[in-house]
Amino acid sequence: MNRVLVTGGSGFIGSNFLRYFLNKFKDISVINLDKLTYAGLRSNTVEHETNPRYEFVHGDICNAELVKSLMSRVDSVIHFAAETHVDRSIDSPDEFVRTNVLGTNTLLNAAKNAKLKRFIHFSTDEVYGSIKQGSFTETFPLDPSSPYSAAKAASDLLALAYHKTHGIPVIIMRCTNNYGPYHFPEKVIPLFITNLIEGKKVPLYAKGGNVRDWLYVEDTARAVSFVFEHGKIGEIYNVAGRCELSNIELTGMILKEFGKGEEMIQYVKDRLAHDFRYSLDMSKLEALGFEITSTIHDNLRKTIDWYRANEAWWRKLKADRYTLK
Ligand code: NAD
């Protein structure tokens, strides 16, 4: 039995990943280490609670003793845990540095004494910064713009340095903007969907010209599982959704699904240092045999259906959000 320590498995990508991974590999058991911050919910993984191949540990990746003891029980690490919301990182960056940089360092440091086969460090396209034309390959220099992406870039560099210095079997994955079920309703797609269900307008930054590449979270789960099986130690793999849209195009698609038009858009003040466009070249991963076949039309509809069917899940989070801080 392969044993895997997954960090941040109660968040958006982590919980979708666990659903896919535990179902795909019946010879794998997982320990999910999650601090359950505002973004992590134990109920996101409730279906695994009775699965003998699943164990939940409520804890912090910055807790060196805890991390060391968990790592001695596994042969792989898949590290998702992070503070993830760019706007929050602009207002209060400290927790981003603590979790994303110090937390990753704590995990890597513990990996020195563990006998791991692989340590997948999960990162973001935002570490490359913005690109006007063309797409970033994995060899581009890092040029992050926000405290969030700077902290992620620092964690990527730490992971690579531990690979060089201590031989930790690191693989880095950098992916584009995810969307799908269980996405916290502060992020653009679930915020817009839930606002429209509530009959409210959608707040769009500036003129909505910024471009993002959209990756369905199930495709991300497939990509991580693919890299888990086929990825090479010491390598970096970009994962793109192959679906670049300006924010106004994306907004138009969502509004159309609700039978609404531009009257539901409320333009708001732009984010500071708002990156114009992210774009990743994922030919390296495709050369190994991975491909994206799903389309945003189907996936957006599935996502909207999920938010319609799970109002209790997001209504509570939205209500709590205003009592946070
Ligand atoms: P999320 O905010 O939904 O979930 C983060 C999870 O990490 C939560 O369950 C939270 O409780 C946990 N966590 C936070 N701090 C912790 C700590 N100190 N110790 C243990 N657990 C902690 O985030 P997400 O969107 O699922 O992102 C997961 C990973 O994917 C992150 O590393 C993020 O940088 C990366 N990523 C996300 C996207 C995206 O579009 N969502 C895109 C590219 C990369």
User: Where residue 70 falls among pLDDT bands split at 50, 70, 90?
Assistant: very high
Within a 10 A sphere around the Cβ of 274, how many other Cβ atoms? 14
Same domain, yes or no, for 35 and 95?
yes
Kindly list the catalytic residues.
125-126, 148
Identify whether 47 is part of a domain.
yes
- Position 324 confidence tier, pLDDT thresholds 50, 70, 90: very low
The DSSP 8-state label assigned to residue 280 in this structure reads B
Confidence class for position 67, pLDDT limits 50, 70, 90: very high
Please tell me whether residues 187 and 231 are part of one structural domain.
Answer: no
Closest residue by CA, ligand 1 atom 27: 13
- pLDDT, one tens digit per residue, over 87-119 is 899 999 999 999 999 999 999 999 999 999 999
Q: The domain that contains 25 carries what CATH number?
A: 3.40.50.720
- Whose Cα sits closest to atom 37 in ligand 1? 124
250 with 162, same domain: the answer is: no
pLDDT for the residue numbered 276: 86
Q: Whose CA is closest to 211, among 143, 282, 278?
A: 278
207 domain-assigned: yes
Q: Are 239 and 191 in contact (CB under 8 A)?
A: no
Within-domain flag for 39: yes
Same domain flag for 151 and 203: no
Distance 8 CA to ligand 1 centre (A): 6
Nearest-CA residue for atom 10 of ligand 1: 40
Query: In total, how many domains does the chain have?
Result: 2
Residues 46-58 have a mean pLDDT of: 97
Q: Reply yes or no on whether the pLDDT at 72 is more than 70.
A: yes
Residue nearest to atom 30 of ligand 1 (CA): 80
Does some domain include residue 280? Answer: no
Q: Give me the phi and psi of 2, to 5 degrees please.
A: -80, 135
Does position 325 have pLDDT exceeding 60, yes or no? no
Local confidence band at 297 (pLDDT 50, 70, 90 cut-offs): very high
Q: pLDDT tens across 7-21, in order?
A: 999 999 999 999 999
Ligand 1 neighbours by CB, cut-off 6 Å: 7-8, 10-14, 33-37, 39-40, 60-62, 80-84, 99, 103, 122, 124, 152, 175, 177-178, 184
Closest CA to 124 of 162, 154, 158: 154
Q: Tell whether 259 and 206 lie within a shared domain.
A: yes
As a whole-number percent, the residues of the chain with pLDDT over 70 amount to 98
Q: Decide: 79 and 7 in contact? Cβ < 8 Å.
A: yes
**Range in 203-207, 255-259, 284-288, 296-300 with the lowest mean pLDDT:** 203-207
Averaged pLDDT score across all residues of the chain: 95
Pairing of strands 211-216, 244-246: antiparallel
323 pLDDT band, cuts 50/70/90, is low
Which residue's C-alpha comes closest to atom 43 of ligand 1? 124
Q: For residue 307, give the CATH number of its domain.
A: 3.90.25.10
Q: Are residues 208 and 222 in the same domain?
A: no
Q: What is the number of the ligand 1 atom nearest to the C-alpha of 41? A: 9
Q: Which residue range(s) make up the domain with 311?
A: 179-212+243-275+296-321
**Together in a domain, 247 and 131:** no
Count the neighbouring beta carbons within 10 Å of the beta carbon of residue 304. 20
Task: Report the separation in Å between the CA atom of 13 and the middle of ligand 1, taken as the mean of its atom positions.
Answer: 7
pTM above 0.75, yes or no: yes
135 CA distance to ligand 1 middle (Å): 24
User: Per the domain annotation, does 101 fall within a domain?
Assistant: yes
Residue 305 lies in a domain: yes
Substitution candidate for ligand 1 out of 6, 7, 12, 155 with most atoms within 8 A of CB: 12
Question: Which stretch of 79-93, 274-288, 294-308, 310-324 has the lowest confidence by average pLDDT?
Answer: 310-324
Does any domain span residue 232? yes
The ligand 1 atom at the shortest distance from the C-alpha of residue 152 is 34
194 and 309, same domain (yes or no): yes
Q: According to the model, what pLDDT value does residue 275 have?
A: 82
pLDDT in the model for residue 322: 58
Which ligand 1 atom lies nearest to the CA of residue 61?
19
Same structural domain, 194 and 68: no
> Is residue 253 within 8 Å of residue 48, measured between CB atoms?
no
Quick: pLDDT tens for 178-231.
999 999 998 999 999 999 999 999 999 877 789 999 999 999 999 999 999 999
- Are 140 and 119 contained in the same domain? yes
Write out pLDDT tens, residues 234-248: 999 999 999 999 999
Residue 291 in any domain: the answer is no
Q: Are residues 109 and 253 in the same domain?
A: no
